[in-house]
Homo-oligomer: A and B are copies of this chain.
Amino acid sequence: MIGVGHSRFGERQDVNVKELAFEAVKEALNDAGLTPKDIQYMCLGSIGVWYEEPLPAVAVAEYCGLSGAGLMRVEAACATGSAAVYSAYTTVASGFTDLALVVGVEKMREVDTFTAVELMGRAGSYMWEFENFGLTFPGYYALYATAHMNRFGSTEEDLALVAVKAHKYGAMNPLAHFQKEITVEDVLSSYVVAWPLKLYDCCPISDGSAAIVLASEDKVRELKIDTPVWIAGIGASSGTGTLAYRSDFIGLDATVKASRNAYKMANIEPKDIDVATVHDCFTIAEILAYEDLGFCGKGEGHKLVREGQTEIGGKIPVNVDGGLKAKGHPIGATGVSMIVELTKQLREEVKPTSRQAPMKNYIALAHNVGGTGHYCYVTILKR
């Protein structure tokens, strides 16, 4: 990766989807020292069900001056951004192109909250569970939260601590949707969405974009880029759409499989990782991620957050950009945003420096889930 860009996340009624994408594209191209005409392939991550351009790739490419480049859109529900990075990665790694651009963008606040929740609910297995039983994603993750609490003794306070950590770092991140700190009491007293998940256990519905320029090894040398960050491994897996087919509700198989494949490809172990971004669409999701990624043993995730081990200064800083919970979750942008953040972490250029994780091995991990483990992408970065 030789260039990264990131818009402000949040309510973005000030721009249309093309303008929103352009904010990140412009910054990424400037960061790489390139112009739109240098890009041979562009991969857009967007589920695009909310707005006037239902098939947004052409419109975005035209607005960003990229017409002529090879072009496609990818979708993997909430893991769309990481799937787009994967696609651009294989495009370069296969020798097809030397320079590829990934753009993740979503403008979800074009619709109201109820419509957004309904559209997202259809990302599972619509015809069976959603249509017949009416579960939407807060409900799905509530099933996982209650199973984890029942089996391992995690509590509502543990879940709240995940949100408090997210807001602590979100408050330091000028690009975050929410930039204010909250307390455990704030979380516990917010209204119940699907017990035990309360409003402050849920990520917001956000607008936003992120972009990355990927280059081949030859191109990195040719351009004399001195701060490249490399993709050392990617793992991808999927789970059943129908939750009734899952063997248990205490972890996501797709995360386990995707992460083991990524570790193997990068030839690293979880303990080698300096900083991580994990998919915390709901607070319980972050606790499951700790366990499924191997940051701790099964059933110990809530202890990591209790002990502050996933803050800066702890064993493994996680979501020190605010995570989906406070930074926001514009679906197609999220996975790309995670890798933009980690690239800046690995370059040690995060500002304010209170948000910069200490680097030992210069290895970072991004974990992006679609649905309730319907998809998972794990990406390992190395400087």
Contact of A71 among B58, B76, B131 (CB under 8 A): B76
In chain A, positions 6-33 with a C-beta closer than 8 Å to chain B are 16
Interface string of A49-85 (1 = CB under 8 A from B): 1001111011101100011111111111100000100
Decide: B72 and A83 in contact? CB cutoff 8 A.
yes
Copy number in the complex reads 2
The verdict on A301 contacting chain B, using a C-beta distance below 8 Å, is: no
| A95 contacts across to B, CB distance below 8 A | 93
Decide: A71 and B241 in contact? CB cutoff 8 A.
no
Decide: B87 and A94 in contact? CB cutoff 8 A.
no
- Give the CA-CA distance A80 to B348 in the complex, in Å: 39
Decide: A55 and B62 in contact? CB cutoff 8 A.
no
The verdict on A322 contacting chain B, using a C-beta distance below 8 Å, is: no
The verdict on A230 contacting chain B, using a C-beta distance below 8 Å, is: no
* Chain B nearest CB, measured from A177 CB (Å): 23
- Give the CA-CA distance A241 to B54 in the complex, in Å: 13
The verdict on A236 contacting chain B, using a C-beta distance below 8 Å, is: yes
Interface string of A186-202 (1 = CB under 8 A from B): 00000000000000000
Decide: B16 and A127 in contact? CB cutoff 8 A.
yes
* Chain B nearest CB, measured from A362 CB (Å): 23
Decide: B62 and A125 in contact? CB cutoff 8 A.
yes
Contact of A89 among B55, B77, B94, B126 (CB under 8 A): B94
Decide: B76 and A75 in contact? CB cutoff 8 A.
no
Decide: B77 and A75 in contact? CB cutoff 8 A.
no
In chain A, positions 183-226 with a C-beta closer than 8 Å to chain B are none
Decide: A94 and B90 in contact? CB cutoff 8 A.
yes
The verdict on A122 contacting chain B, using a C-beta distance below 8 Å, is: yes
* Chain B nearest CB, measured from A46 CB (Å): 9
Decide: B236 and A58 in contact? CB cutoff 8 A.
no
Closest to A122 in B: B54
Contact of A53 among B73, B83, B127, B234 (CB under 8 A): B127
| A86 contacts across to B, CB distance below 8 A | 72
Decide: B236 and A71 in contact? CB cutoff 8 A.
yes
Asked whether A126 and B53 contact (CB < 8 A) given A58-B374, A68-B253, A93-B94, the answer is: yes
Decide: A73 and B74 in contact? CB cutoff 8 A.
yes
The verdict on A41 contacting chain B, using a C-beta distance below 8 Å, is: yes
- Give the CA-CA distance A58 to B374 in the complex, in Å: 7
Closest to A82 in B: B72
| A75 contacts across to B, CB distance below 8 A | 55, 57, 72-75
The verdict on A179 contacting chain B, using a C-beta distance below 8 Å, is: no
The verdict on A283 contacting chain B, using a C-beta distance below 8 Å, is: no
Q: List 6 A-B contacts (CB under 8 A).
A: A54-B126, A59-B125, A59-B127, A59-B241, A67-B240, A93-B94
Residues of chain A at the chain B interface (Cβ within 8 Å): 16, 41, 47, 49, 52-55, 57-59, 61-62, 66-77, 83, 86-87, 89-91, 93-96, 119, 122-127, 131, 234-242, 245, 253-254, 257-258, 370-371, 374-375, 377
